Amino acid sequence: MAQAKMIFPADFLWGTATAAHQVEGNNVNSDWWAWEQGNGRILQNHRSALACNWWEDAEADLDRAAAMGTNAHRLSLEWSRIEPEPSRFDMDALDRYRQILQAMHARGIEPMVTLHHFSNPVWLVEKGDFNSDIVVDYFQRYTAKAVELLGDLVPKWVTINEPYVYVFMRYLNQLFPVGQKHGWLAAREAVRNLLRCHAAAYHAIKAQQPEAQVGIAKNMAVLAARPDGSALDRRWARWLSWLYNESWFEMMADGRLRQPFGRGVIPNLAGTFDFVGVNYYTRFYVRFPPRNGLLEQEWEPGAIVSDGNYGEVYPEGLFWAIKTVLKYDKPIYITENGVPDVADGIRPSYILTHLREIWRAISFCFPVMGYYHWSLVDNFEWDRGWTQRFGLIALDPETQARQLRASGSLYTEICTQNQINSDMAARYAPQLLETMFPGAPPTL
């Protein structure tokens, strides 16, 4: 029977994503490990513990990723493993990362490597972390060592993951490990130093590996006034959206600070990105003045909301995010996209509808080059512990048993066929047939 198809470019990258602290296990030199030990900091007092046991056996999950037909994976390096003490680099840790990267290449999986994904060495926090100017030299040196010993295996680097999420959660909400300072002035200082670290890392990579692509993974969220919101709500939403979604890119593009982060130029920052990494999950509503927090946690009638009130499923926002970054004239990678859904009832339709938005963008010749689903396997989800499950593969952290979810089977078909089609929708998310593939047969 005929199918309606949305076919992707032949060289499109189909990937998954993970982060070191969330999957490696026993990351004892990290500020996150220390933070987890305090009662009440993580939901249900969960601990990362063995996590997904990647430090001992990442290759087993890479086998699963290869069997799913993926040809790319985004992972991060754990700075606290590589440099457990200031100025002492652990060659065994670097060798282990080399083994993991070689295992990816052997399975036909291209690595994208993130240098900083929320976690820090404990010693760096003791020295003031991103509120201390010394962090720039340390980050540059860590980057240079990683590139020296691993760069021949890494075509794409992400310097920093979701800088504004890191700053907001650490310095303002204090749901991430708290350093010596917190509050708005500390957050402002951290933003400037994160920009300086990004610039230093970019040039450190290019000095040794000029052919590498270097970028940032920037979380983007639709921030909108409610449909019945006031003109002031809409004006507030526009400003917040610019601040959260666009100001970082603007500062990277021309090297100039934007208010409220200060004035002036960050030396060597301008133009320090070769691609744009977009992490997209959801839409939030905002009001002015804010009530019960900056982001509204009440949804419109009929909204599909993921586990733990994490957010609304709003695929159109991904197309908006892609359009927003077109102005930089860079290749675009969707470096994270996924949904917490332990029952796997939402995820199949989430994948299909968000990939439809990417296909629509590509149909307009927007340069979207790849998609990295978050996440390959259930992992330790930061302050939410094991209460939220993002994996295409389900994990029991106690037994380390794994089970491919239906969404994982769907993603396997997508990757191996390089398309989404009405047959997939009929079998995995039949409620989408009328909207995604009108006129397609209801059953196949």
Domains of the chain: 11-385 (3.20.20.80)
431's tokens: 């409620």
Judge whether 116 and 217 are in contact, CB under 8 Å. Answer: no
The torsion defined by the Cα of 324, 328, 332 and 338, in degrees rounded to 10, comes to: -30
Residue 51 and residue 150: Cα distance in Å, rounded? 24
Instruction: Encode pLDDT of 227-278 as tens digits.
Output: 999 999 999 999 999 999 999 999 999 999 999 999 999 999 999 999 999 9
Contact 94, 57 (CB under 8 A): no
pLDDT at 228: 93
Tell me, what's the pLDDT at 443?
Answer: 52
Residues of the chain scoring pLDDT < 50: 1, 444
- Please give the pLDDT value at position 444: 45
Judge if pTM exceeds 0.85: yes
- Hey, what are 158's tokens? 């992400």
Nearest to residue 249, comparing CAs of 298, 343, 184, 321?
321
Predicted confidence (pLDDT) per residue in 388-431, tens digit: 999 999 999 999 999 999 999 999 999 999 999 999 999 999 99
Integer Cα distance of 324 and 327 in angstroms: 7
Using a 10 angstrom Cβ sphere, with 0-12 exposed, 13-18 middle and 19 or more buried, the burial of residue 41 is: middle
Confidence (pLDDT) at 95: 98
The answer to whether the beta carbons of residues 102 and 143 sit under 8 Å apart is no
Q: Are 314 and 376 in contact (CB under 8 A)?
A: no
